[in-house]
Amino acid sequence: VAGLHGGRSKFAGSRASSSSSSSSSSSSSSPHQFTAVSDPRCPPEDPPCPEKTLKTVMLLGDSAVGKTCVLVRFKDGAFLGGNFIATVGIDFRNKVVTVDNMKVKLQIWDTAGQERFRSVTHAYYRDAQALLLLYDITRKSSFDNIRAWLTEIHEYAQKDVVIMLLGNKSDMAAERVIRPEEGEKLAKEYGVPFMETSAKTGANVELAFLAIAKELKHRAARQPCEPKFQIHDYIESQKQKSACCGLL
């Protein structure tokens, strides 16, 4: 694939231990150190029980759609411009977010989009509680491949995995080839929430992860009589808020 620099992960070396804000923490050790098991002895309000509040999120999509950049934007608030370095295999970062006054630790797995790493990433699907599936609004092939990604997801992921479709690089208006309505339509067909993001400007990046965190937290803590958290409604209300306040 043109423009790829395989062989080194962006998180390798100096990027591995970047600083974090007071509300977040990071780690670059193996994802196998953590397991997202529910422990019925541990109530959700109880912060010292990490398993209960650890949520695993996986980034998927073709190579170069911006998965690593979206993660770095969310984790460090920065944009990785310059030379594109393709992710090798799989990497991960942790970030603690606050959802309804409760701390939720997101363990975010950044997968390689290149075909040759597919068998490595398949092994991780089953442990993911949520999947952010990205395409690049300036590259039609990455959008056309979303159906194939969804087929893979249905084959390898948990049946109740939370999926969100993201059209990334929304800042590149002049190069756009996929209209927002097309993303919206595809997402509707599969019954998943959708938004456009930009790792460059940061538009909707935090919202995407927070919506996922809220959905996972509500699922884990919901009492049978409580109404279900409506992720679609939440996203729409938050998008409107950002638009009205000029934050997009």
Q: How far apart are CA 106 and CA 71, in angstroms?
A: 11
How far are the Cα atoms of 52, 69, 242, 248 from residue 39, in angstroms, in the given order? Answer: 6, 33, 37, 39
Q: Which is nearer to ligand GTP, 5 or 147 (CB)?
A: 5
Instruction: Indicate the DSSP class of residue 191.
Output: T
Q: Helix axis angle, 67-76 relative to 205-221, nearest 10°?
A: 80
Q: Which is nearer to Mg ion, 87 or 168 (CB)?
A: 87
183 binds ligand GTP per the rule CB under 6 A: no
| Cα–Cα distance for residue pair 109/128, rounded to 1 Å | 9
For Mg ion, the closer CB: 24 or 87: 87
Find the binding residues for ligand GTP in span 54-83 (CB under 6 A). 63-69, 80-81
Q: Which does 169 bind (CB under 5 to 8 A by kind): Mg ion, ligand GTP, none?
A: ligand GTP
* Residue number with CB closer to Mg ion (12 or 220): 12
Count the residues of the shown chain that bind ligand GTP, applying the rule CB under 6 A.
22
- Pick the closer one to ligand GTP by CB: 64 or 131: 64
SS3 164: strand
Smallest distance, Å, CB 61 to Mg ion? 9
Q: Which of 58, 86, 216, 235 binds ligand GTP (CB under 6 A)?
A: 86
Q: Which of 54, 57, 106, 112 contacts ligand GTP by CB under 6 A? A: 112
Walk across the sheet containing 102-111 and list its strands: 90-99, 102-111, 54-60, 130-136, 162-168, 194-196
HSE on the CB side for 55, CA within 13 Å?
31
Contact 197, 183 (CB under 8 A): no
Among 53, 109, 113, 231, binds ligand GTP (CB under 6 A): 113
Least Å distance, CB 155 to ligand GTP, is 20
**Stretch binding ligand GTP (CB under 6 A), from 15-23, 31-39, 93-101, 166-174:** 166-174
DSSP state of 13: G
Q: Look up residue 77 and give its two tokens.
A: 């608030």
User: Which positions touch ligand GTP (CB under 6 A)?
Assistant: 63-69, 80-81, 84, 86-87, 112-114, 168-169, 171-172, 198-200
